[in-house]
Amino acid sequence: MECKLCKKEMETWESNNPEPLMENIDENRVCRDCNNFVTATRLHFALSRIHPEETSGICHTIQSILSLAFGLKSATEQMNMRIQPTTDFAKEEEE
Ligand SMILES: [Zn+2]
């Protein structure tokens, strides 16, 4: 089962409901890490006096930012994996 936020494959079935950060359609589920974003969003709405009509726009913005951040993280990880062997090779050349 894939986490609907970070798109990583979850090792176990998680019951983490993504509402209100994203709609709970088609059994959408998020991983334990991403569930912190959902919980933080719930807390933010509970603690601040945001008009209910504004929440969906805010959730959409949070989702967009998280999606970009996960994309950047994935790109950085892929770049680091490509750089690693070259670095090791350079070390061997020095010895
Ligand atoms: Zn996730």
Where along the chain do its domains lie?
Answer: 1-95
Structure tokens at 34: 């991403």
Query: So what's the pLDDT on residue 13?
Result: 87
Longest dimension (CA), the chain: 65
Query: C-alpha distances in angstroms, 40 versus 48, 56, 58, 78, 90?
Result: 12, 15, 13, 29, 44
- At 49 the pLDDT is 86
Distance (Å) from CA 30 to ligand 1 centroid: 5
- Residue 10 CA to ligand 1 center (angstroms) comes to 8
What pLDDT was estimated at residue 91? 62
C-alpha closest to that of 17 among 8, 69, 4, 65 = 4
**SS3 assignment, position 2:** strand
CA distance 76 to 70: 10
- Give me the average pLDDT of each 10-residue run along the chain (95 residues): 93 91 86 96 93 93 96 92 68 61
Looking at residue 82, what is its pLDDT?
Answer: 86
Distance 90 CA to ligand 1 centre (A): 36
Give all strands (DSSP E) within 1-95, no chain letters. Answer: none
